A and B are shown apart, each in its own frame.
Chain A
Amino acid sequence: MTSSAAPARLARVLAGRALQAVGVAVLVSGLCFLVVQRLPGDIAYRIAAGRYGYDLVDEQAVAGVRSELGLDQPAWQQLLHWLGDLVRLDFGRSLVTHQPVLSEVGYFLTGTLQLAAVALLLAVAIGAALGTAAARRPGGVVDRLTDLWVAGVRALPAFLLGLLLIVVLSVHLRWLPSAGQGGSTTIILPALTLALGLSGLFARVTRDAVVEVRRSDYVRFARTKGLGGRLVLLRHVVRNAAVVLVPYIGVQAVIIIEGVVVVEALFSWQGLGHALVHAVFWRDIPVLQASALVLALLVVAVNTLADLTVLWLDPRPRGQEALR
């Protein structure tokens, strides 16, 4: 943030987002609870299967689970109980693993954030490079090739793209591990899978933004002023294009966070997608609510961050809304 940003405006953005966060938290918790209650099947049996494996699920084991977790209470009591705990920031323990929910969700969140961050960096790098190159000569060869790239990676589902990458980079070239989560190289393939899919869109948006900015009056003025081509690109074109790009990156980050489920499953990456799927499967209500809550708040946080970045980047007089 620069000191020239009007504090009032900053406060307004933050207050609005904070309110949004609280609303989202209550809504998501309630919805999760309702969904689990409406799902078919007996919750206690599901939890017992998650805990013990199905070979050991019998009536006695289930009765034990039911009495231990108070699943025979009416649903509204269980929901009030959870909301009360939420206000005290007590997320309780997983019904299946008996680990504190906070540490469990924190662990999965770390996994997802790492994956999303690396993927986003890669996507922006690949996309911005391609887009800027394409924008140098709109309609030229590079521009056409970029179009082809955009269409190609968008059309491939992440699942297929991931398998292709595994076959090429891990089975044939033997450069990277094909799955799992361990050494420093295991993140590359899943992140690359996500990044390639996104890079096409980034390339598209970057290209359009750069083309538009280059045609604008202030760039022409800067050129007239006698600044070199590279400086113009950096100081004016990139910065102005970034104003359009940042909110867009924000939206994409949200999509990544929600879209990791498939990639996490494919590469056995331990993240929130994994946690959500299992929590639904086992009816592990505390973990489900906490994971969904974290995902929802993550969306709010990313949007807030994008707002603040635009505030800071936008060279136009503060107080006008940035392009959306």
Chain B
Amino acid sequence: MTVVMVVGLASGCGATRADDRGGDTLRVVGPFEIHSLEPTATSGFFTRLEVAETLVTADLEGNLAPGLASDWSPSQGGRTWTFELVPDVTFHDGTPLTPEAAVDSLETVRRDEASPLAAAPIEQIAATDTGLRFELSEPNLTLPAVLTHYSTMILAPAAYDDDDHVSELIGTGPYRIDRIELPASIEVTRFDDWRGTPPEIEKVSFQSVSRAESRALMATSDDADVVWHLEPAGRQKVEASDGVSMASTLQPRTIMLKVNNDHPILGDPDVRRALSMALDREAMAEAVLREPELAATQLMPPSLTTWSQPDLAPLEHDADGARQLLESAGWEADDDGVLTKDGEALRLNLLTYPDRPELPALATAIQASAKEVGIEIDVEVTNSSEIPVRHADDTLELALVARHFALVSDPLVTVAETFAPAGSEWGVQNWSDPQLTAAVDQLLTGPSEDRAEELRATIVTIAQEQLPLVPVAWYRMNAAVQDRVEGFVFDPLETSWHFSQVRWAS
């Protein structure tokens, strides 16, 4: 790494600057760091940058779309899946994409427990003349959706070292890697042998900047063309400056309270309902997220159109109702105004993590809301991994988490995991409902669309009545985009950043 030392100030650029400060490079800045080239550990980075591709991808609406596979079909009721590869695809090192290469990539990632593919009931992946055949141990209709997950990216044989770790990222996408400096910067260049329409933007650079204030400054001082994830103060700054504007989209992510339903206090559905009624979600969404519409009225955000139930009675703020519920459940205020029952005070511990800056702020707002109705909450902000730890040893009481419902393009996969009867790290704990479990199982067998709609409604309704997870807010992603960038599209699922579609404004 060489850095030319320039002592003194860059000359010739005063307050008026040319529009092409970034030259022909699209400069992208975001909070995420790239820790590793291992497909499971890339957080989708290389598929979003369109360096690597998966067999199946998702369009902006979340529907499955051809990636490296042109089409796919189940047989034996979904026990066997056949994928046909797009012909004449070349890896960035010039080698052809063969069925064997695709099988090798998938076999490698399948051994990595962190990939959703590791959980799929695969017995064998075989190369055919023109594609791949998956032999499963049981029928499974979500396999194509799982193959949209970034960890299932197909890389060239030369990408792997002797012990099957990725040493160089050689994919098939419209952009190839020019330079990688883990953890914070990547440069990619247009790949000339790409099979589709050549992208207009020749070079894209990504730089990781962890502080939101710094990112906002970069957006307003034209140090970057696309800046992901600004906080409210930064958003206002961008909206007030010329030459750059905000873009945003609802993301299928719900901020919710994970509840230990075996807990002596929280095991009572009335206490959970009272806690939910105590929350002034709109005020929280306005104060913390600066957008009252993000207050969650149910578990599934409206961006998941197939899952969201507009007719469902919404979760509402009702402090008096919450107090009455608690009273009828046997909780009485003692001399200090603290609710007690059988000598036990209504005190709960709430765990959350700072990776998403709004979570600790929301946690304290929840604490204040709950106090209004007599529920004492202690907030503990810690590392995100504490939540699965305490889920495992059953010491968790409440946790505020942000759950993404479309980790793979079909939300059903994540929903099934969230409501797993045995519990799930980022989903329910010590709670199951036979009717809901049956509905999930039926959905997984691929019923008719009408029936599927009924089943989805059943699941969402039961979750709303029982509140094993208490929804708090939905989620909006945003980015600041310079005016010199045209054709920027926002993908709610973040399958891809679609920079190959972007143009320079003339």
Contact = CB atoms under 8 A, between A and B. Distances in A.
A180 B207 contact: yes
Nearest to A115: B3
A275 to B, nearest CB: 9
A80 B150 CA distance: 38
Contacts of B218: 177-180
Contacts of B213: 163
A160 B90 CA distance: 51
Contacts of B113: 60-61, 63-64
Interface in A233-274: 265-268, 270
Nearest to B1: A110
Given A181-B184, A268-B207, 14 more contacts: A51-B38, A54-B355, A58-B388, A58-B425, A60-B114, A96-B36, A97-B182, A99-B182, A171-B217, A174-B15, A178-B223, A179-B209, A179-B217, A268-B184
Contacts of B207: 180-182, 268
Contact of A174 (B4, B14, B407): B14
A74 B87 CA distance: 53
Contact of A114 (B3, B17, B386): B3
A217 interface: no
Nearest to A58: B425
Interface string B332-360: 00000000000000000000010100000
Interface in A25-51: 41-42, 45-46, 48-51
Nearest to B17: A174
Given A41-B382, A180-B29, A184-B3, A62 B221 contact: no
A76 to B, nearest CB: 24
Contact of A42 (B14, B210, B385): B385
Contacts of B182: 97, 99, 104
Contacts of A121: 7
Size class of the contact patch on chain B: 35 or more
A20 interface: no
Contacts of A163: 213
24 contacts: A41-B386, A42-B385, A46-B385, A49-B384, A51-B38, A51-B41, A54-B384, A56-B40, A56-B114, A58-B388, A58-B425, A58-B426, A61-B113, A107-B181, A118-B7, A170-B223, A174-B13, A178-B217, A179-B209, A179-B211, A181-B185, A184-B4, A186-B3, A268-B211
Given A51-B114, A97-B35, A184-B4, A268 B383 contact: no
Size class of the contact patch on chain A: 35 or more
A98 B165 contact: yes
A110 B181 CA distance: 13
B426 A55 contact: yes
A266 B211 contact: yes
Contacts, number: 169
B203 to A, nearest CB: 13
A178 B384 contact: no
A35 B425 CA distance: 27
Interface string B172-185: 00000000011111
A75 B218 CA distance: 45
Quick one: which of A98, A166, A186, A188 has the most chain B CB within 10 A?
A98
B252 to A, nearest CB: 12
A173 interface: yes
A114 B468 CA distance: 53
Interface in B487-503: none
B118 interface: yes
A39 B213 CA distance: 30
Interface in A151-205: 163, 166, 169-171, 173-182, 184-188
Contacts of A42: 385, 389
A76 B223 CA distance: 49
B239 to A, nearest CB: 16
B36 A268 contact: no
A48 B36 CA distance: 12
Given A58-B424, A268-B214, A180 B209 contact: yes
A122 interface: yes
Given A41-B385, A57-B385, A64-B114, A98 B36 contact: yes
Contacts of A99: 36, 182
B263 interface: no
B5 interface: yes
A52 interface: yes
A53 interface: yes
Contact of B221 (A46, A61, A122, A178): A178
B140 interface: no
B43 interface: yes
Nearest to B384: A54
Interface of B: 1, 3-7, 9-10, 13-15, 17, 29, 35-36, 38, 40-41, 43, 112-116, 118-119, 165, 181-185, 205, 207-211, 213-215, 217-218, 220-223, 353, 355, 382-389, 392, 404, 407, 424-426
B114 A48 contact: yes
A265 B210 contact: yes
A281 interface: yes
A72 interface: no
Given A51-B41, A98-B165, A180 B223 contact: yes
A41 B210 CA distance: 24
Nearest to B149: A56
Contacts of A184: 3-6
B108 to A, nearest CB: 14
Contacts of A182: 185, 205, 207
A285 B213 CA distance: 30
Interface in A66-103: 96-99
Contact of A41 (B115, B208, B214, B383): B383
A194 B425 CA distance: 43
A85 B4 CA distance: 36
Contacts of B7: 118, 121-122, 188
A62 B6 CA distance: 46
A267 B213 CA distance: 10
Contacts of A49: 383-385
B385 A48 contact: yes
Nearest to A125: B7
B386 A170 contact: no
B423 to A, nearest CB: 10
A57 B383 CA distance: 12
A59 B392 contact: yes
Quick one: which of A110, A188, A278 has the most chain B CB within 10 A?
A188
B388 A270 contact: no
Given A48-B385, A61-B113, A175-B10, A166 B217 contact: yes
A268 B385 contact: no
